[in-house]
Amino acid sequence: MKINTKVELGIVALTDIAVHSENGESVRSSDIADRQNISQKYLEQILLGLRQGKFVKAQKGIHGGYQLSRPADRIMLCDILNALDNNILANTYEPDDKQPDGIRASVNNCLWSNLNSYMRSFIEDMTLADLIKEYKEFSAKEKDYMYYI
């Protein structure tokens, strides 16, 4: 499966906002860009898509930045993917008019249809809170392996 950069970085940026705004603070896009090594200009385009999808809200001013528009456990991964690229969850197989039957149809029914169905089901059950939980568990493990000299 190929995910475009906009979708990948959109999920990363949204997760960063969720993690760094847990105490109600706004997260500046420049801070996200620095932490995640994303071009500030490209990040602004991604954040615009996240705002239009109503995942984040922007606050202007000296303490401005971005916050989640609703709790992370109410932000579904499938909704994020659809907002940033509505082709990801679309069927990957386009039937060829020249061969409506035969091997291609069998492969489509047996493999691609089932794979698409599995991916949709997996993504529809995952929330932003699941990604945050995974990040925190990974971060805790990383700290356990720190060596101090």
Predicted pLDDT of residue 90: 67
The answer to whether residue 79 sits within a structural domain is yes
* Band of residue 104 on the pLDDT scale cut at 50, 70, 90: confident
Total number of domains in the chain: 1
pLDDT value at 10 more than 90: yes
Asked whether residue 28 is assigned to any structural domain, the reply reads yes
Q: Of the given ranges (64-68, 81-85, 123-127, 138-142), which has the lowest mean pLDDT?
A: 138-142
Q: What 3-state DSSP class applies to 139? A: helix
Per-residue confidence (pLDDT) for residue 140, from 0 to 100: 80
Provide the residue range defining the domain that includes 28: 5-144
Mean pLDDT along residues 97-103: 65
pLDDT of residue 47: 96
Q: How many CA atoms lie within 13 A of 17 on its CB side?
A: 32
- Residue 12 resides in a domain: yes
